[in-house]
Amino acid sequence: MKKFRIVLTDYMYETLQPFYDVYDKEPDVEFVPMQLTSKKDIMRETEFADAVMVHFQQLDSDIIGNLKNCKIIARSAVGVDNIDLEAASRAKIPVANVPDYCIEEVSNHAILLLLACAKRLNILERTVKEGKWDYSVTKPVHAIRGRTLGLLGAGNIACCVAKKAQAFGMKVIASDPGLRQEQLEGRGITLVSQNEMLAQSDFVSIHAPLNRHTQRLVNADFLSRMKRGAILINTARGGLVDESALYDAIKNGQLGGAGLDVLTQESISLDDPLLTLENVILTPHAAWYTEEAMYTLLTSAAAEVIRGLHGQTPKHQVNRF
């Protein structure tokens, strides 16, 4: 019996066992994990694949146009900015992601960064380790109860952030051109224009996808419209933020600080100017991670591949044709 060939182009997982937990139950599939580093190699190995899984490598129009048998492309992540969706649609190949695997984790991390920035936790920790026992090194610090959290995007993660922020007594507003107020019924989130959200918010948390329309959406103009002294939180995608403009806005006092889990270039260079700012807290793209989330991510991506191979519509198809 001829088996479906599933090619994984690249990965940085400690174990592939969650993939095998799904594929070993399917007698008609052959899973081929690889570490392909060049476009030429990717084109060669995926040309006759029945399914392609990708982690960080770019699948551009040349690679997708070269696919002869592919029934589905799956990325074990939320973002699909490394896949040419238009090329996949032209080729009538569904592209699937896993948008629902780390909602609790990322929303927790957004709140973690918000609280840490509000309390200037990094300064408190550093000065204690330097032998200084003095709360006043962070003055002035203000209560978050009664303050306003603005959400840029109001999808699943943002709504989870809102619920947790409300537990701290925060007011939550959001800007999302793709939603109507009735779609947020019962969530305690008020939809407003982007300008209103920026002007009113003491904290702005980013929850938007990265695409050609949102690249560097958070630019100098965006930051200038934020409430003076506000804090920016980003657990979405680094490419949404113009980091040079962010540095300038914090340096000149327009912003009170930032909590960033993602950057345009990862990892961070040791001479990155953001590292010189005491009121910036950085974490290494860690928001998504727990062991449970990792397992769900990989098994869900594999399950999407199986659906595609068997002619079923993926649960989370991101392109249309």
Classify 36 as helix, strand or coil: coil
Rg, C-alpha atoms of the chain: 22
Q: What is the mean pLDDT of residues 5-34?
A: 97
Q: How confident is the model at residue 2 (pLDDT cuts 50, 70, 90)?
A: confident
- C-alpha distances in angstroms, 48 versus 4, 39, 63, 254? 10, 15, 11, 54
Summary mean pLDDT of the chain: 96
* Of the candidate ranges 1-5, 92-96, 137-141, 243-247, the one whose mean pLDDT is the lowest: 1-5
User: Using CA atoms, how far apart are residues 132 and 263, in angstroms rounded to an integer?
Assistant: 32
Domains of the chain: 4-101+291-309 (3.40.50.720), 103-282 (3.40.50.720)
pTM for the structure as a whole: 0.90
pLDDT surpassing 70 at residue 94: yes
What are the tokens at 239?
A: 């490419």
Three-class HEC string of 59-99: ECHHHHHCCCCCCEEEECCCCCCCECHHHHHHCCCCEECCC
Question: What average pLDDT does the segment 206-222 reach?
Answer: 94
Q: Report pLDDT digits (tens) over 291-316.
A: 999 999 999 999 999 999 999 999 99
Q: Express each pLDDT in 130-189 by its tens digit.
A: 999 999 999 999 999 999 999 999 999 999 999 999 999 999 999 999 999 999 999 999
Residue 78's pLDDT is 87
Annotated catalytic residue, options 109, 147, 207, 237: 237
Indicate if 237 belongs to the active site.
Answer: yes
The verdict on whether 45 is a catalytic residue reads: no
CA angle (33, 297, 5) in 5-degree steps: 30
**In the predicted model, is pLDDT for residue 1 greater than 80?**
no
Which residue of the set 130, 182, 185, 266 is catalytic?
A: 266
| Vertex 294 angle, CA 67 and 21, to 5° | 70
266 part of the active site: yes
